[in-house]
């Protein structure tokens, strides 16, 4: 039995697991989850990230033989595993992570966008498996990944499905990507905190806002509803471009799905062409799968030999 060591890497965390690459049901392939820390932000971020990853991976490789290491990372990542930029990881720029890790580990390494990994993993676990699936991940930013007709969509330069950076508001709020008015400035956890402060609130985090909204506070409910409406508009745009009928929502904000859903559904319906209305299956990723999908997807992408 061969195993891939898969990692899900963010600005402050590393999660890793062994993923069996064949011969098992997809929902039984991820095992031995481990969490660690990164401190990849600001000056020296690239060196710190590389050191944290090497340390974590070498520790895990003491447990057994891997035939490949597969990473899911936030950011704009090309087919050669170079991270051009990562809007929510300051200090990462044109960083050839795949090459550098490969040299240190002497193992095949793949590096892919984390939302693409999540989309692939979610698609593998759907039963029945749909032809296509789009994933939106709502956390510090808004990530996106797409499996179309069974194939992961990577794009000419590796940055397909950057739905978090589609322009929503002309000359809107500045985004970490360098533009203004991107979707993630209106529908990420970070955005909700800013919008609360702009509305005269204390700048509560997404969880505090959700508690207030669920207790009946009108402003907190409105902040979530508006975020849902922006997401609905983003999903409608995507659906009309590629005719994907299965859309899954992941990331921390899905804990507040009850608050996002009404705005998302009404906006999606308003912004779809009539033949598509009511035909889009939008739902949050099942809680028991949230921890698996990015790791499973990263390992699967490594097997596909596309990245
Ligand atoms: Zn942006």
3-state helix/strand/coil string of 143-194 = EEEEEECCEECCCCCCCCCCHHHCECCCCCCECCCCCECECHHHHCHHHHHH
CA of 26 to the centre of ligand 1 (A): 34
Are 3-118+290-304 and 127-287 the same fold in CATH? yes
Q: Which residues surround ligand 1, an ion (CB under 5 A)?
A: 165, 175, 177, 179, 182
For the segment 194-239, what is each residue's pLDDT rounded down to a tens digit? Answer: 999 999 999 999 999 999 999 999 999 999 999 999 999 999 999 9
CA of 172 to the centre of ligand 1 (A): 10
CATH superfamily, with its number, for domain 127-287: ATPase, nucleotide binding domain (3.30.420.40)
Confidence of residue 287 (pLDDT cuts 50, 70, 90): confident
Q: Calculate mean pLDDT across residues 241-247.
A: 97
Q: Calculate mean pLDDT across residues 284-291.
A: 85
Position of tokens 């929902």? 27
CATH code for the part of the protein at 3-118+290-304: 3.30.420.40
Of residues 83, 142, 153, 65, the one with CA closest to residue 117 = 153
Confidence of residue 291 (pLDDT cuts 50, 70, 90): confident
CA of 177 to the centre of ligand 1 (A): 4
Confidence of residue 241 (pLDDT cuts 50, 70, 90): very high
Q: Calculate mean pLDDT across residues 246-253.
A: 95
The answer on pLDDT for 2 being more than 80 is no
- CA 171 to chain centroid: 25
For the segment 122-175, what is each residue's pLDDT rounded down to a tens digit? Answer: 999 999 999 999 999 999 899 999 999 999 999 999 889 999 999 999 999 999
CA of 21 to the centre of ligand 1 (A): 35
Q: Calculate mean pLDDT across residues 180-191.
A: 97
CA of 18 to the centre of ligand 1 (A): 33
For the segment 84-127, what is each residue's pLDDT rounded down to a tens digit? Answer: 999 878 889 999 999 999 999 989 999 999 999 999 999 999 99
The answer on pLDDT for 282 being more than 70 is yes
Cis geometry, peptide bond prior to residue 128 (ω within 30 degrees of 0) = yes
CA of 216 to the centre of ligand 1 (A): 32
The proportion of the chain whose per-residue pLDDT surpasses 70, expressed as a percent, equals: 96
Of residues 34, 11, 24, the one with CA closest to residue 114 = 11
CA of 34 to the centre of ligand 1 (A): 31
| DSSP class of 139 | S
Q: What is the mean pLDDT of the chain?
A: 92
Domain residue limits, the chain: 3-118+290-304, 127-287
CA of 252 to the centre of ligand 1 (A): 19
Lowest-confidence range among 25-39, 102-116, 132-146, 179-193?
Answer: 25-39
Position of tokens 């608050």? 259
Which helix (H) or strand (E) element contains residue 70?
A: strand 68-73
């Amino acid at each position: 039995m061969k195993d891939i060591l898969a990692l899900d890497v963010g600005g402050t965390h590393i999660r890793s697991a062994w993923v069996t690459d064949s011969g098992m049901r997809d929902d039984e392939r991820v095992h031995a989850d481990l969490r660690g820390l990164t401190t990849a932000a600001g000056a020296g971020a690239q060196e710190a990230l590389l050191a944290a990853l090497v340390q974590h991976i070498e520790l895990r490789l003491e447990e057994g033989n891997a035939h490949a290491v597969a990473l899911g990372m936030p950011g704009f990542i090309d087919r050669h595993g170079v991270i051009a930029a990562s809007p929510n990881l300051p200090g990462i720029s044109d960083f050839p992570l795949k090459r550098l890790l490969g040299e240190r580990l002497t193992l095949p390494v793949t590096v892919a966008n984390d939302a693409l990994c999540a989309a692939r993993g979610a698609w593998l676990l759907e039963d029945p498996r749909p032809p296509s699936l789009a994933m939106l991940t709502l956390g510090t930013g808004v990530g996106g990944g797409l499996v179309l007709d069974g194939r992961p969509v990577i794009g000419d330069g590796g940055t397909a499905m950057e739905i978090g950076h589609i322009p929503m508001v002309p000359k809107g709020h500045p985004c970490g990507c360098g533009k203004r008015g991107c979707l993630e400035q209106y529908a990420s956890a970070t955005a909700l905190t800013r919008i609360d402060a702009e509305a005269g609130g204390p700048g509560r985090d997404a969880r505090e806002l959700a508690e207030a909204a669920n207790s009946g506070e009108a402003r907190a409910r409105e902040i979530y509803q508006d975020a849902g409406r922006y997401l609905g508009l983003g999903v409608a745009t995507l659906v009309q471009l590629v005719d994907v009928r299965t859309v899954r929502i992941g990331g921390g904000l899905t804990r507040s799905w009850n608050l996002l859903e009404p705005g998302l559904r009404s906006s999606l319906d308003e912004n779809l062409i009539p033949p598509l209305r009511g035909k889009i299956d939008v739902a949050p990723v099942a809680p028991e799968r949230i921890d698996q999908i990015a790791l499973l997807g990263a390992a699967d992408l490594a097997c596909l030999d596309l990245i």
